[in-house]
Structure 1
Amino acid sequence: MLDRRRFTQSLVVGMSLPVLSAAPWRLASAAPAGRTALYVAVGPDLTLYDTGGDGTAAVARGTVTVPAPIQYVWKHPSKPFVFVASSNRFSSTTNDKHHVTTFRQDPATGALTASGEPASLKARPINITVDATGRFLLIAYNDPSHLGVHAIAENGAVGAEIVQDGRVDAGIYAHQVRVLPSNRAAVVIARGNDPASGKPEDPGAIKLFTLTEGRLTAAQTVAPGSGYGFGPRHVDFHPSQPWMYAAIERQNTLQMYRIDNDRLSDAPVFTKTTLADPASTLPSQAAGAIHLHPGGGFLYLSNRADRRVDVDGQKVFAGGENSIAVFALDPATGEPTLVQSAPTRSFHVRTFTVDPAGKTLVAASVAPMAVKDGGSVTNVPATLSMFRIGDDGKLTLAATHAVDTAKGPMFWCGFLPLG
């Protein structure tokens, strides 16, 4: 079983999963989208890809390198700056390289150029975001668990962490930070930990803080069951309704919370399984990343399985669901309904992205893995899986592209706007 107290490069392979029965939802129109570019992080390298006219190509156009393996990337809301968080927490015994690097993005080509020196951080920045004004960078640190806020200068430089009034309680194993659509509050998703090596479970929580000129004030803790049996990983917001959706990693569920006056409902309004066959869940099955369709009618979430067993001296995949779960959202209530489980046919999709036009989904698997195939063992490479999004929100696998992960895991991918 995967020890979720630390990242490992345990891997998974796509399974043949059923497409669930059709539902009467159709794709809500997405807002007009400008030009975008696809970026993929492998180890310390961030590569710009040309995805072609139909969004299914994957031709590398240029690569930049940061001081350590990339953890997360975020684009400035109004300026051509891209912020790249990196850390050697799991690639070195020294655990001493933690940075945010600012790049200037070419508005025509998407090419990145370093802007100044990387800003040093105190620990692994597992997740970052920028507030709507573009003046503050928020960083989630998982160990020790912490939420930090840094000022962003006019030239994109990231300043020192803003000293807060008192300790910022980010829960156990902060895994993501986002700013509410109002821009008046920040939410930290604290995953907690499964029991391991005789240590009991660490409870999870969703922590809400008011955000005023870079200052944080604790406002709310959401922890159903006191956080036990509750392991949230990532959240995303509906583009037009006061609804927040959370991927509950350790329990393989999707939850929806209402937002009212910058507070969340104390309990989820809806809870749904993310799996096509929840009765057959195997060890190490986990929910992953979550993104809403830009039109608001659909939601996408990755299912990951990474358990391996020994077969004739080789570690091979032991089974589980590796898919993108597609949920249709009721326009009146926000209730999600699982309408498709689309196999990624790849390994452990930690990260995926939906283009702002709502026509393409790209899923990135972490690394290769050996797979038992009849009497032989096959090694399947790390993969970019390119899906077309239909008018009904469902996914059609259009192309796959092998990616060399010799430099490290394929840890993040994203469509970023140009300009």
Structure 2
Amino acid sequence: MKPLPLFAYVGSYTSPERNGHGNGINVYRVDPRSGALRHVQHLDGLENPSFLALNDEGTRLYSVHGDRSEATSYTVDRETGRLTVLNRQPTGGYNPIHLAFDARQRFLIVSNYGSDSLAALPIAKDGSLAPYSTLTAVKAPLGPHRIEQRNVRPHHNPLDRAGKTFYLPCKGSDCVIGYRLDARRGVLVETSRVAARPGAGPRHIDFHPRRPFAYVINELDSTITTYRQETASGALAPLQTVPSTPPEFTGYSTGAEIWVDGSGRNAYVSNRGHDSIGVFGIDPAKGTLTPRQWVPTRGSVPRFFAFDPAERFLYVANQGGDSIIAYKVGRNGLLASTRLRTRVGSPACIVFSR
């Protein structure tokens, strides 16, 4: 049986209030050998489709819409990669910023950054979204930053590797909250929370593929915190905090994205201001981080980055630079520059078919 082509789906910011230069969702066919992107489709008529999620079968794509109040489902043609809008549903709050599936992919969990809530949208058999039943309010004391911590600001809600706990870094309240899904009621129930440094602004989290460690990029103070994860309860305990930028850098920068590679040997972060990707080695026993490399993103505001499924390339979405650039990933995890550069307005997220 002939293998299916590999596609990349790129979300963007489109609105003037976000200084958006994007035009919706763009689809690219990916050459697995060279890493090159070839444009397939532009799906317009979408406001700020800023974060995306693709189901395991690669047949349905979902987006939330920044500074709006809805999520959208799309059908995916696996042969051509092309998208068609399936339906839309309200998320029950303002500025939905992230979305993730539960372990059985029967619900889409959405965090409403602007109004401090979580919604669990049921996924119908045809992949369309059904209305949420009850919102989960996210409540926590606010941090000291007078501008960036005016509300709790839940920023990311991925499911951990065990498929049990959704973790919610809260930029406005300097904490990470764990939730588990009550599928019968269609609501999220808090199970744990851990405090970060005051003013740190936890933003995104990722997990070691085999060991009980979690890694959080803190936006406001440009640091990375390593946590130990208690297997049964999901509770997090801090182990280490290190800067995400080089020690000689004295300018202003904010942390954005974090990924752990499939081998569990390296963690990668993006820095907006320093405009770099940092590579940090992971101690195999302790889980702690040691800086190994910083590479320039060749564009401003690297809001997001992602590996291709084989982890041969790392693609950086430069929101301020209207570009996607690619680095070659070495066997040791270090990054080497390439000439791969794709012009795209205000890219905010990249997901790949499997």
For the aligned pair, the TM-score class normalised by the smaller chain equals 0.7 to 0.9
Q: Which residue of 1 is the match for residue 333 of structure 2?
A: 393
Alignment match of 2:270 (pick from 280, 302, 308): 302
Alignment of 1:152-167 (within 5 A): 152-163=123-134, 167=137
Between stretches 38-47 and 148-157, larger displacement belongs to 38-47
The correspondence for 2:259, drawn from 270, 291, 295, is 291
Alignment of 1:65 onto 2:44: yes
**Contact (CA 8 Å) 2:155, 2:169: kept in 1 or not?**
yes
Tell me: CA distance 1:34–1:357, structure 2 relative to 1, closer, same or farther (3 Å). farther
Change (3 A) 1:66 1:128: farther
Cross-structure match for 1:125: 96
- Residue 78 of structure 2: SS of its match in structure 1? coil
Superposition deviation, residue 72 in structure 1: 0.6
Q: Structure 1, residues 144-171: CA drift from partner, whole Å, max 9, x if none?
A: 111111111111111111226x744377
- Note the 1:3-82 alignment, pairs <5 A: 36-42=6-12, 43=14, 44-78=23-57, 80-82=59-61
Query: What pairs with 1:102-117 in structure 2 (closer than 5 Å)?
Result: 102-115=73-86, 117=87
Aligned counterpart, 1:281:
250
- The alignment partner of 1:126 has SS state of strand
Q: Deviations over 1:7-54 (max 9, x none)?
A: xxxxxxxxxxxxxxxxxxxxxxxxxx9864212223351111123243
CA RMSD of aligned residues (A): 2.1
Q: Report the counterpart of residue 196 of structure 2 in structure 1.
A: 224
Q: Report if aligned partners of 2:24, 2:46 keep a CA contact under 8 Å in 1.
A: no
Kindly provide the amino acid, as one letter, of the partner of residue 398 in structure 1: T
TM-score where L is the length of structure 1: 0.74
How far apart, in 2, do the equivalents of 1:163 and 1:41 lie? Answer: 28
CA distance in 1, matches of 2:313, 2:41: 21
TM-score normalised to the size of structure 2?
A: 0.86
Work out whether 1:338 is the aligned partner of 2:318: no
Structure 1 stretches of 4+ with a deviation exceeding 4 A read none
Which amino acid in the other structure matches residue 111 of structure 1?
A: R
C-alpha separation between the residues in 2 aligned to 1:147 and 1:341?
35
- The one-character-per-residue Cα deviations of 1:193-228 (angstroms, maximum 9, x if unpaired) are xxxxxxxxxx32111122231332222221135xx2
1:84 aligns with 2:59: no
Q: Which amino acid aligns with 1:288?
A: A
In the alignment of these two chains, the number of paired residues is: 329
Question: Structure 2: where are the runs of 5+ without partners?
Answer: 15-22, 142-151
Q: CA deviation at 1:56?
A: 3.0
1:147, 1:170 within 8 Å by CA — same for their partners in 2? no
Change (3 A) 1:167 1:51: closer
Conserved 8 A contact 2:117-2:138: yes
**Matched residue SS, 2:157:** strand
Asked if structure 1 preserves the Cα contact closer than 8 Å seen for 2:193 and 2:236, the reply is no
% same residue:
24
Cα pair 2:176 2:196 within 8 Å, conserved: no
1:75 is displaced (CA, Å) by 1.1
> Who is 2:311 aligned against?
358
Query: Distance in 1 between the 2:159 and 2:56 partners?
Result: 12
The one-letter amino acid paired with 2:112 is Y
- Would the aligned equivalents of 1:294 and 1:356 in 2 still touch at CA under 8 Å? no
Is 1:413 the equivalent of 2:350?
A: yes
Separation in 1, partners of 2:169, 2:62: 20
Distance in 2, matches of 1:170 and 1:187, equals 15
8 Å Cα contact 2:40/2:81 also seen in 1: no
Shift of 1:78: 4.0
Name the SS for the 1:137 alignment partner. strand
Q: Who is 1:199 aligned against?
A: none
| Alignment CA distance shift 1:184-1:273 (3 Å) | same
1:308-349: per-residue Cα shift (whole Å, max 9, x none)?
A: xxxxxxxxxxxxx11100111122221221111011111110
Q: State the Cα distance separating 1:138 from its structure 2 match.
A: 0.4
Question: CA–CA distance in 2 between the matches of 1:265 and 1:185?
Answer: 11
8 Å contact 1:56–1:399 — kept in the other structure? no
Shift of 1:183: 2.5
1:148 and 2:127 are equivalent in the alignment: no
- What secondary structure is seen at the aligned counterpart in 2 of 1:160? coil
Equivalent residue, structure 2, for 1:191: 171
Distance 1:61 1:207 in 2: 39
Match of 1:257 in 2: 227
The alpha carbon displacement at 1:414 in A equals: 2.4
Structure 1: gaps of 5 or more residues? 1-32, 90-96, 193-202, 306-320, 369-381
Indicate the structure (1 or 2) with the bigger Cα radius of gyration: 1
